[in-house]
Structure 1
Amino acid sequence: MSTRIFARAALVGAGALALLGPFTAGTAAASATGEQGGARVLAAPYAVVPYETVNVRTGPGTSYGILATVPAGQPLGAYCWTRGERITDNGYSNDVWVKLLEGYVSAVYLKGDEYGDLPASARC
C-alpha cells in the first residue's frame, strides 16, 4: 500500500468528511453539511497538518491576503509546494509554501519535514 493511499485511508477513518467544514463554510459553494470540504481533502493527492493555527493566504507570502485561519491539528488537502517569502518562527526558517485548493500555507507551521511532508518532487 503506498503512503498516499494509506494517508487517505487514515483520513477517512478519522472522519475526513467533516474536517474542512469550518474552512469551506465561508464559501458560496460549500454545502450545509460540510461534505464538500471533506471531499476536497480526499481529492487532493496529499494531506498536511498544521501544528499550530495557520493562515491560508492567496499567495506564497505574508503580503498576500488571508483567506481563512485553520486550527492546529486540522488536516488540509495539499497539491504541491513552491518557494515564496522566507518565514521564521519558533527557531525554524524556510521559504517553502504548500499549495492547497483554497490558497497557500507556510510549511514552517506544518508537521513533518521542510516540505510539510510533501515529496520533494511535488514542486508546483
Structure 2
Amino acid sequence: MHRTNSRPLTKIMMTAAVGAMAAAGMAAPASAAKAPQAEGTKVSAQFETVTTWVQGNVRIGPATGYRIAYTVAANQNLTAVCWLEGGTVSANGYTHNKWVYLSDERYIWGGLLKGNEVGNVSSPCW
C-alpha cells in the first residue's frame, strides 16, 4: 500500500521523540517546537483582549530566538488565547519567561503587556 500523506506519522513520531526527551530531562530541539494547539495540548476556547504598554515584537515562537512576525505599538489591543512558559526575556525592568499565545498563532512576551506578567490572560496553554 502506498502512503500518500506522511504528515500524521511525522507528527506522532515527533511528539513521541519530544516526550521521550522531556522524560529524560533533555530540551527539545527548536525544530520540534509547535504552537500550543499541537496534539496533546489543550487550548482555551475563550479569547481575551490584551493591551501593550510599550512598542514590541510579536514572534512566531515563544522566545527571542524566533523570527519577528510583526511589531506592535504601545496601547495596541491583541486577541489572546492562553499563556505559556518560553524563553526568558529581560527588558523594560522585567525578567521572566511568560509568553502569550495570540489568536493569529503568534506569540508576545508578557512583559510588553498591561497587567500582570501574562497580560492578565487567565488560561494557561496545556
TM-score, length-normalised on structure 2?
0.60
Structure 1 counterpart of 2:53: 51
Gaps of 5+ in 2: 1-44
Question: Percent same amino acid at aligned positions?
Answer: 40
The structure with more radius of gyration:
2
Corresponding position: 1:101 with 2:99: no
Structure 1 counterpart of 2:82: 80
Q: Post-superposition, which runs of at least 4 consecutive aligned residues in structure 1 deviate over 3 A?
A: none
Gaps of 5+ in 1: 1-42
The 5-angstrom pairing of residues 1-124 of structure 1 reads: 45-102=47-104, 103-119=106-122, 122-124=123-125
Select the structure that is richer in helix. 1
Asked whether the 8 Å contact 1:60–1:97 carries over to 2, the reply is yes
RMSD of aligned C-alpha atoms?
A: 1.5
Residue correspondences, number: 80
Displacement of 1:73:
0.3
- Superimposed CA distance per residue, residues 49-72 of structure 1 (whole angstroms, 9 cap, x where no aligned partner): 111111110000011011111111
